[in-house]
Amino acid sequence: MPELSKYDITIDCSKQKICQNGKNLNKSQNDKNHSNDKNKQNISLHISECKQINSHCSQTTEDQVNPPQSVTENKCELRKEVKDIIKNFDSVFSKDKYDVGALRVEPQRIVLNSDLPVNLRPYRTSPVEEQEIKSQVEKLLQAGLIKESNSPYSSPVTLAFKRDEGKKTRLCIDFRKLNALCKSDSEPLPLMDSLLDKLSKAKIFSSLDLASGYWHVPIHPKDTEKLAFCTNFGLYEWCRLPFGIKVAPAIFNRLIRRILTKYKIDFACNYFDDIIVYSSSELEHWKHLKTIFEICEKENIKLKLSKCVFAQTKISFLGYEIEQDKVSPNNANIETIKKLKPPTNVKEHQRFLGSVNVYNKFIPQYAKLRYPLNQLLKKDVKFNWTNECQDAFDKLKETLTTKPVLNLYNPDVTCHVFVDASQKSVGAVLKQPDASDVLHPIAYHSRTLRDYEKNYAITELECLAIVDALDKFSYYLHGQKFVIHTDHAALVWLKNVKNLRGRLFLWSLKLSMFDYEIKYQKGCTNIEADMLSRHPISHHLQHAVHLLDINEIKTQQKNDNLCGPKYHEVKDVIVIKKRNLYKIVAPFSLRLKLLNQAHEQFGHPGVQKMLNLITPQHYWPNITSDITEFVKHCSVCQLNKKRKQKRFGLLQQVPPTSTPFECISVDTVGGLYYYNSTKKFLHIVIDHATRHVWAFPSKNENSETYINILKQIFQIQVPVKLLTDKNAAFTSSRFKKFLRNYNVKHLLTTAHHPQTNGKVERVNQSLVTRLKCKVNSTSTKVPWTKLLESVTNEYNLTPHSITKYPPAYLLLGTLPYDSPIGQNSYYEPVNEARNLALQRTIDYHNKNKIRYDARFVDKKFNPGDLVVYEEFHYPNTRKLTPPFSGPYEVIKQCSEVTYEINKPNPLTKQATQIVHISKLRCFHSPDKLKLSHE
C-alpha cells in the first residue's frame, strides 16, 4: 500500500508483530505462542475503514503503531485490491443523491384499475417548506428525473423531516389515492431457502447498495402522466419510478433479478436494492466484485459507496447472521428475551409460559423443564416462586435464547406482525405459519420510547408500534400482503383518513407502500409483543414524606442482602443518589409495610399519588411496578372506587323477527299520578317483528294483572316467546303455570340490565312522553287513562323510524280508513313490507352494535376467577355505600355476556346468581400480591 511504504512497515499477523526498519513496534509481547488459527480474525472491510487507516498511518509515530484488529496476512494487499477496484470503476459510484443511472431496460408500465384520473389539490405549505420543495424539484428537473406536466392526474407533495438527521428533509408524494387504483404486481420475492443454499459454501461476502434504487427505472412515456404531482408553483411528472408507488418494489426487484440472470451470475443475488456478492476465496471474491462492477457499468447502475460493505466473513442479511455453513438468528432480535425478569404473579407467569410454549419444538425435554412451572397454575395453589421454579425458568430462557430458535423466512407464506405499545416502549414479533397453520417467530423487535414519544396519545403509540415494526421488518414485508395483529382496533382509521399533517402524514405514507390487513387481537393473546413492549422500566421520581422509622430502616438494611455494595452509605444509612438527591434504599422486609402505611394514612390514593408520596425519599428496584401492583391488589380500592376503564361485554342482540307474535315483550311504568286517576301503573306489550304496542292501565302489578293482560293479547294470537324482566310477578309459580298452559317460552333478562329488553324500554319512554304532552295540552284536565287509547293508536299509526312502516300496517296488513296517513296504496304488500322492515331492522342493529361496542371491551372470565359486582343504587341515595360488592367466584359462563357467580339471589333464595358481564370487574386478591425481590 503506498501510504504504508514510506514507513517501511512489516506486518506479521500470525505472530502479532509489527516492525519498522527492523525494529519491533509491539507494545505487548504476550501470547506469542498462540496458534495461527486462533490469531486469524474475520475480515471486515468497509471503504470508510480504508480511509481511516490511511489517515491514521500518516499521523502515527513509532510508539503509536499497533497491529490492526481482524486482519489476515494479506490484509494490506486486500485493501489495495479494494481501492484499485473502486478507482477503476469510479463511474459506478454515485457522486450525490441525484447522480443515478437509468437502467437499460424497456420503460415500465403503470397499470391502473380505472381510467378515472386521481386529481387532488396541493397541500398548503409554509414559505420555508415551499422554498425547500422548489429547491428539490429543481434538482430533480436538472437530473432529468422529473419534467413539467399538463397531466389530468395530480397527487399532492409535502416534506417529511428526518428527525434523526437534523433539518434534512425528503420530498414525499402522497400516492395513497393512486395506489388504491394500481393493479397489484405478483412478482415473487426471492426464496430465502434457495438463497441460503447458495450462500452455504461461501466464505467471504460483500454487500452493495444501489443509490436511490427506484430512480434507476425509466417509466413508459404513456404512463408518466399518472405519476404527476402538484406543488403550489406547478405540476410535474416522474420520468423514473418514484418512491411511494405501490408496485415499485415488485418492478424494481424484477429488473435487478433479470439483469443478474441475464449475465448468468451465480455468485450474487439481490433483495430489492441490496446485492450480496459471495465467494469461496479471497482472490475469487475480487474477481466477482470486478464482474459485478462491470455489469453495473454496462447496465448504467449506480452504487452508494457509503453503504457498501466489502469482504466480510459474517454478514447480517434479512434478520440473520450468515457465515460459512451456518445461519443463526440476529442476536439483536432476541436480546430482549434474555432480559425478562421472573414473574411476580399468576398473570405474568401465564404470559411467560405462553411465550415459551410457542417455541417448545426447539427446546429439548420441554415437558420436563416446564413441570415445576405448571404446578403454579393448578386451582387453589398459592403462587409461590421456589428455587425449583427459578431453575426451570432460567433453563427455559437460556435454551430459548442461546440456540438458533428462529424459523427461516418463507416469502410464499403470509407474514403476521404482532405489535403492542406501552407508555415506555413498543414491541413487535414477526411470525409465519407452518403447514399445520401454527405460527412460528421469524424475528423480534423491541425498543424504549424516546422522550418526545412518551407524550403521544395511546392511539398514536399503537400506530407508532406498527410503523416501527414495519420499518424493522420491511425486508420481509415489502411487496407482499401481510396481517398486522394489534390490541387497538381503532388503528384502521389511518388507512383512509384525509388531510393528515406531521408525523401522522409521514406514517400514513409509509404504511401506504405496504399491502396489509389489520386484525384486532386482545392483549391477553398478543403475548410476545405485549411482553417486549412492557419490559423496559423507568422511574419518575417526585416529592413525598418519610413513612418509616430511621432506626428500623438501619436495622433491616444490615440484614438485607439486597442492600449491597452498589449503593452508598451515609450516616449508617444505605442510600442511592438520583438526580443529585439521596434516597433511602428500602430493605425488602419493610417495603410492604411502607406501602401499607402510605396507602392507609393518606386515604387510599392511586398509583401516581402513591409515587408522589414514596419515591422522593425512598428507593428500591422496580418501585413503580411494585406500587402499581400494590394499588391494583388493594381490596378497599377495588370495592369503593368507581370505574375508570370501559365496561366489559360487547352487544349481544336479540335476533330480529319477521313474523308477528314470534316474540313479544312486557314491561311496566309506575308512578303515573295525575288528576284523580286511581291507576298509577302502565303495562306495555310490544310485538318485536312489527313493533305494534298494546297499553293497559292498572292499580297494581301482580301476577294476576299480567295474566289478565296477556289473555287479551292471546285472543289475537298466542306468541312463541315472551321476554320480561325478573319482576316477582313474572317469576311466580302461577305466572309460569299460565305460560305453560299456552306453551309459551319465557325469556328473562339479567338483573339490573334493562338493555336486554331494549325495545319495550324505548317504547316506555315514547308513550310516557306522548302522554305528558297530551295531558298538559288539553283545555280541561282529564285522567291520563282516558287519553291512553288515543296515544297508543297514534303510536301504532305513525311510521316507525327504523322500519319506515306504521306498526299497525305490519301487524294487520291494512290501515283503518280514517287513518290520517291515507289509504294502503302508499305501502308495499304486507309480506314485502315485513321483509323490508326486517332488513332495515338488521341494518339498524349492525350500526347500533358498532356504536355500542366502541364504549365496551370484550372480556372472558374463567371458572374460579374472582370478580366484584357493581350494585344498583338509586341516584342520590347511599352515597357512602360501596359501589361494588364481593369478591365473588365465577362458577360458569352461561352465555357470551352472562356468568353465574356465587352471589346469593334475594329473589330465588339461591346461593348463586346469573349476572351480566357489564356489572363485573376483575378482583385482584391481596393474598396474591408479590413484590419484586431485587
76 — pLDDT class (breaks 50, 70, 90): very low
**What's the order of all strands across the beta sheet hosting 745-748?**
693-698, 681-687, 663-669, 721-724, 745-748
Of how many residues is the chain composed? 934
Please give the pLDDT value at position 14: 47
Residue 934 inside a domain? The answer is no
Q: What is the pLDDT of residues 114-148, one digit of tens each?
A: 888 999 999 888 888 888 899 999 999 999 999 99
- Mean pLDDT in residue range 6-14: 50
Statement to judge: residues 208 and 276 lie in one domain: yes
Statement to judge: residues 743 and 690 lie in one domain: yes
Name residue 368's beta-bridge partners. Answer: none
Number of domains in the chain: 5
Statement to judge: residues 322 and 260 lie in one domain: yes
Please give the pLDDT value at position 61: 32
Residue 64 inside a domain? The answer is no
856 — pLDDT class (breaks 50, 70, 90): confident
CA distance to 83, 116, 279, per residue, from 290 (Å): 12, 48, 12
Please give the pLDDT value at position 225: 92
Statement to judge: residues 143 and 285 lie in one domain: yes
Please give the pLDDT value at position 138: 92
**Helices and strands counted in the chain (H then E):** 29, 37
Residue 784 pLDDT > 90, yes or no?
Answer: no
Residue 846 inside a domain? The answer is no
Statement to judge: residues 338 and 429 lie in one domain: yes
Residue 189 inside a domain? The answer is yes
For the record, the C-alpha cell of 316 comes out as 447480517
Residue 72 inside a domain? The answer is no
Q: Which residue has the higher pLDDT, 485 or 546?
A: 485
Residue 643 inside a domain? The answer is no
Q: To which H or E segment does residue 638 belong?
A: helix 635-640
Q: To which H or E segment does residue 181 belong?
A: helix 176-181
- Mean pLDDT in residue range 791-807: 85
Indicate the residue type of 422.
Answer: S
For the record, the C-alpha cell of 847 comes out as 350500526
Residue 821 inside a domain? The answer is no
Residue 542 pLDDT > 50, yes or no?
Answer: no
- Mean pLDDT in residue range 828-842: 83
Q: Are 205 and 277 in contact (CB under 8 A)?
A: yes
Domain boundary among 534, 562, 583: 534
Rounded CA-CA distance 45/37 in Å is: 20
Residue 614 pLDDT > 90, yes or no?
Answer: no
Domain boundary among 476, 500, 534: 534
CA distance to 390, 576, 584, 588, 589, per residue, from 563 (Å): 21, 10, 10, 9, 11
Q: What is the 3-state secondary structure (H, E, C) of 642-705?
A: CCCCCEECCCCCCCCCCCCCCEEEEEEECCCCCCCCCCCEEEEEEECCCCCEEEEEECCCCHHH
Closest Cα partner for 173 from 98, 237, 216, 111?
237
Q: Which residue has the higher pLDDT, 41 or 673?
A: 673
Kindly report the CATH number assigned to the domain that includes residue 788. 3.30.420.10
Statement to judge: residues 735 and 777 lie in one domain: yes
Quickly list H helices, 732-864: 733-741, 758-775, 784-797, 807-812, 830-853
428 — pLDDT class (breaks 50, 70, 90): confident
Closest Cα partner for 419 from 343, 504, 489?
489
- Out of 69-78, 208-217, 220-229, 673-682, the most confident range is 220-229
Q: Are 244 and 169 in contact (CB under 8 A)?
A: no
Statement to judge: residues 294 and 417 lie in one domain: no
- Mean pLDDT in residue range 296-301: 90
| pLDDT, averaged across the chain | 76
Q: Which residue has the higher pLDDT, 281 or 677?
A: 281
Please give the pLDDT value at position 31: 41
User: Among all chains, which residue has been given the C-alpha cell 371458572?
Assistant: 863
Kindly report the CATH number assigned to the domain that includes residue 578. 1.10.340.70
Phi, psi of 837 (to 5 degrees): -65, -40
Chain-centroid distance of CA 338 in Å reads 22
Indicate the residue type of 178.
Answer: L
DSSP code, position 861:
-
846 — pLDDT class (breaks 50, 70, 90): confident
Sign of the dihedral defined by the CA atoms of residues 13, 15, 20, 26, in that order:
positive
Please give the pLDDT value at position 70: 32
Statement to judge: residues 628 and 706 lie in one domain: no
- Out of 74-88, 283-297, 323-337, 904-918, the most confident range is 283-297
User: Among all chains, which residue has been given the C-alpha cell 436495622?
Assistant: 555
Identify the weakest region by mean pLDDT among 320-324, 679-683, 697-701, 785-789.
Answer: 320-324
- Out of 497-506, 537-546, 758-767, 887-896, the most confident range is 887-896
Q: What's the pTM value of the predicted model, to 2 decimals?
A: 0.38
Residue 830 inside a domain? The answer is no
17 — pLDDT class (breaks 50, 70, 90): low
Identify the weakest region by mean pLDDT among 411-420, 466-475, 822-831.
Answer: 822-831
Q: Which residue has the higher pLDDT, 816 or 304?
A: 304
Kindly report the CATH number assigned to the domain that includes residue 879. 2.30.30.140
235 — pLDDT class (breaks 50, 70, 90): very high
Rounded CA-CA distance 242/84 in Å is: 34
Q: Are 147 and 141 in contact (CB under 8 A)?
A: yes
Q: How many CB atoms lie within 10 A of CB 928?
A: 15
Residue 227 pLDDT > 90, yes or no?
Answer: yes
Rounded CA-CA distance 374/92 in Å is: 61
Statement to judge: residues 465 and 417 lie in one domain: yes
Q: Are 418 and 521 in contact (CB under 8 A)?
A: yes
Rounded CA-CA distance 729/719 in Å is: 19
Domain span holding position 721: 663-800
373 — pLDDT class (breaks 50, 70, 90): confident
Please give the pLDDT value at position 148: 93
Identify the weakest region by mean pLDDT among 2-16, 54-68, 577-591, 680-694.
Answer: 54-68
Statement to judge: residues 306 and 363 lie in one domain: no
Q: What is the pLDDT of residues 713-727, one digit of tens each?
A: 888 888 988 888 877
Please give the pLDDT value at position 238: 92
Identify the weakest region by mean pLDDT among 124-138, 521-535, 577-591, 617-631.
Answer: 521-535
Statement to judge: residues 606 and 714 lie in one domain: no
Percentage of the residues of the chain whose pLDDT score is greater than 70: 74
Residue 475 pLDDT > 50, yes or no?
Answer: yes
Kindly report the CATH number assigned to the domain that includes residue 167. 3.30.70.270
For the record, the C-alpha cell of 330 comes out as 440476529
Q: What is the pLDDT of residues 186-206, one digit of tens each?
A: 888 776 656 765 776 788 888
Q: What is the pLDDT of residues 141-178, one digit of tens each?
A: 999 999 999 999 999 998 876 644 445 788 889 999 99
Q: Is 917 exposed, middle or buried (0-12, 13-18, 19+ CB in 10 A)?
A: buried
Rounded CA-CA distance 221/147 in Å is: 11
Please give the pLDDT value at position 480: 85
**Bridging pattern class, strands 913-916 and 856-857:** unpaired
Closest Cα partner for 792 from 815, 833, 816, 764?
764
For the record, the C-alpha cell of 708 comes out as 289478565
Q: What is the pLDDT of residues 237-247, one digit of tens each?
A: 999 999 889 89
Q: To which H or E segment does residue 397 belong?
A: helix 387-402
Identify the weakest region by mean pLDDT among 8-17, 240-249, 323-332, 921-930.
Answer: 8-17
Rounded CA-CA distance 389/380 in Å is: 18
For the record, the C-alpha cell of 143 comes out as 437530473
For the record, the C-alpha cell of 869 comes out as 359486582
Please give the pLDDT value at position 533: 53
Rounded CA-CA distance 440/443 in Å is: 10
Quickly list H helices, 89-149: 127-142
Domain boundary among 327, 349, 382: 327
Q: 870 by DSSP, 3-state: which?
A: strand
Q: Which residue has the higher pLDDT, 105 or 577?
A: 105
Q: Which residues contact 2 (CB under 8 A, 6 or more apart)?
A: none
Statement to judge: residues 313 and 336 lie in one domain: no
